[in-house]
Amino acid sequence: MLTLYFCPTPNCQKVTIMLKAINAAFDTHKIDILAGDQNEPDFVAICPNKKVPVLVDPDFTGLDGKPLVIWESGAILIHLAEKSGQYLSADPAIRAETLKWVMWQMSYLGPMMGQLHHFVMYAPEEVPYAIDRYMSEVHRLRALLNDTLETRAFIAGDEMSIADFAIYPWVKLFGMRYEPDRPLPHMEAWFTRMEEYAFVTEGLFHQVDTIRPEVVGNAPITDEHRNALFASYQAKRQD
């Protein structure tokens, strides 16, 4: 059985949507990132990058001779798509389009939204320049997505793919915290199409009740949380 090291954040939710889509059996190990579980030696041993999600697939053997361990959510999506033969087309043009948008999410949408969220929710003092920069970039990226969806049903064309799974959690739950500067009707219509599939909602809300109140702004972020999350704080406390 697959094992997923997880907390209910967009990068993990994209994987749980995929797992539900392919009807995979998996166990979930909750990693409380605000408590610093990701920094514990047992977790660092399987993911030296100290981030979730991490997938352990016993059907394959890694370079160390142990069950295959994959971290980085985009790599996990590609692995599951290739293993299952689903949601990543064999057609070269469609496959390239799908992977292009997966990499767009990994390189642009996720990092820009993540940095915006950091400076709005986690920074110990307000930094207007950073907030303005990342807010503008988030609006640009969401507008690009909306424009793309004007002429296609799903991100990479007429069929759902891992590109949809990669992008959906970020713009549905995370990105909607930050209102765009113009209506996004094509993206909203895509939400509706996605949510016609029960596995999308099931994957999105997998263990969502375990979200810490600090993550959604219902409790204050402390220096202890920052120490668990950010290398800069860990280094400062060691000085």
pLDDT at 126 over 70: yes
Tokens of 89: 């087309």
Residues 18 and 107 reside in one and the same domain? no
| C-alpha Rg value of the chain to the nearest Å | 18
- pLDDT tens digits, one per residue of 156-165: 999 999 999 9
The band of 214, judged by pLDDT with boundaries at 50, 70 and 90, is confident
| Beta strands 67-71; 54-61: pairing state | antiparallel
Using left for φ > 0, alpha for ψ between -120 and 50, and beta otherwise, residue 87 falls in: left
Please state the pTM of the whole predicted model.
Answer: 0.94
What's the pLDDT at 41? 96
Its domain, for residue 128, covers 92-197
The band of 30, judged by pLDDT with boundaries at 50, 70 and 90, is very high
Closest to 191 measured CA to CA, from 204, 209, 182, 177 = 204
Greater pLDDT, 213 or 101 = 101
Residues 107 and 174 reside in one and the same domain? yes
| Apex 155 CA angle, 81 and 203, nearest 5 | 55
The number of distinct structural domains making up the chain is 2
CATH of the domain at 182: 1.20.1050.10
Residues 33 and 108 reside in one and the same domain? no
CATH of the domain at 222: 3.40.30.10
Mean pLDDT of 86-108: 98
Three-state secondary-structure class, residue 182: coil
pLDDT at 97 over 80: yes
Highest averaged pLDDT of the listed ranges 112-121, 152-161, 202-211:
152-161
Whole-number Å distance between alpha carbons of 64 and 140: 42
**Can you tell me which residue has the tokens 């990693």?**
31
